[in-house]
């Protein structure tokens, strides 16, 4: 299916055709919610696409924050990806175990630090294996490259900015969590985080724009309809949020695909907002 920004996605066949391309770097960005008991690094070590390096979302983060996987400094990001053998001249392809879950977070991080030549492999590692492609447990040792990073602050929002937006209403806040969590009917799994949502925010569960079985996005028409129904028509700027800033990036990538790029990620997301004692919370009765 064709999107306005179709180059943000590739499939397993494309990756198979470019495994030996010196201008391409393959990145495994697998991350799992803690309650699953799964570990992305352990899964990568056991089996991955040949030549792929592992991007540890939890490790490449702000070490001084008590919140999970908050954005690192530009210097820290540059050092981490440069050590992976990635330079600013490379086309970066990110995949995850399940198709479209954590890979969009890595995609967004690269773009937030100024590297637009990055795409997500739809279908994830499952699609790669189902196509009969080779897998390996061999961890590559790439030569370090120089990567220059500069954070685009317009792509990130803080708690202070979200608080200010409660009064101004300048930006539409769109939550990617399941509707039951958004409504506050399900408890949050992180200790000290209250159920509910940011006052005035809308809800578009990421599962409504992603096919979980195939790890692919909905059609461009369905994406437009889904976002339009929430008021995210492309006119008003959008702030996407979720539990901890992972699936919020799925909504961001979805909007990018249909040419709506006036959005940012609330990095602290509900873990920060729902875990604070100075933030208002809405929940359904």
* Catalytically annotated residues: 242
Question: Please, which residues have CB within 8 angstroms of residue 17's CB and are 6 or more apart in sequence?
Answer: none
Please list, residue by residue across 115-142, b when 16 or more beta carbons sit within 10 angstroms of its beta carbon and e when fewer do.
beebbbbbbbbbbbeeeebeeeeeeeee
Closest CA relative to residue 253, chosen from 45, 57, 86, 4? 4
Round to whole Å and give the CA distance between 147 and 85.
9
DSSP summary character for residue 27: E
Concatenating the DSSP letter of every residue in 90-136 gives SEEEEE-SSSSSSHHHHHHHHHHTT---EEEETTHHHHHHHTT---B
């Amino acid at each position: 299916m064709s999107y306005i920004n179709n180059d943000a996605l590739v499939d397993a066949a494309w990756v198979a055709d470019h495994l030996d391309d010196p201008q391409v770097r393959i990145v495994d960005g697998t991350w799992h919610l803690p309650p699953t008991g799964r570990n992305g690094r352990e899964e990568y070590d056991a089996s991955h696409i040949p030549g792929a390096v592992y991007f540890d979302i939890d490790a490449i983060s702000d070490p001084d924050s008590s919140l999970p996987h908050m954005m690192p400094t530009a210097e820290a990001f540059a050092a981490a990806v440069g050590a992976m053998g990635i330079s600013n001249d490379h086309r970066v392809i990110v995949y995850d175990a399940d198709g479209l879950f954590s890979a969009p977070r890595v995609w967004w991080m690269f773009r937030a630090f100024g590297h637009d030549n990055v795409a997500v492999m739809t279908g994830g590692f499952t699609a790669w294996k189902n196509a009969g492609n080779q897998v390996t447990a061999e961890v590559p040792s790439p030569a370090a490259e120089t990567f220059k990073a500069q954070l685009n602050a317009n792509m990130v929002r803080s708690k202070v900015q979200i608080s200010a937006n409660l009064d101004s209403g300048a930006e539409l806040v769109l939550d990617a969590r399941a509707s039951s969590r958004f409504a506050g009917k399900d408890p949050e799994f992180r200790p000290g985080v209250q159920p509910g949502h940011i006052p005035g925010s809308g809800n578009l569960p990421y599962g409504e724009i992603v096919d979980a079985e195939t790890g692919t996005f909905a059609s461009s028409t369905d994406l437009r309809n889904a976002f339009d129904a929430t008021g995210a028509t492309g006119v008003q700027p959008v702030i996407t949020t979720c539990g901890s800033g992972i699936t919020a990036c799925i909504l961001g990538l979805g909007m990018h695909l249909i040419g709506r790029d006036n959005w940012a990620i609330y990095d602290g997301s509900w873990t920060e907002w729902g875990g604070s004692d100075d933030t208002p919370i809405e929940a359904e009765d």
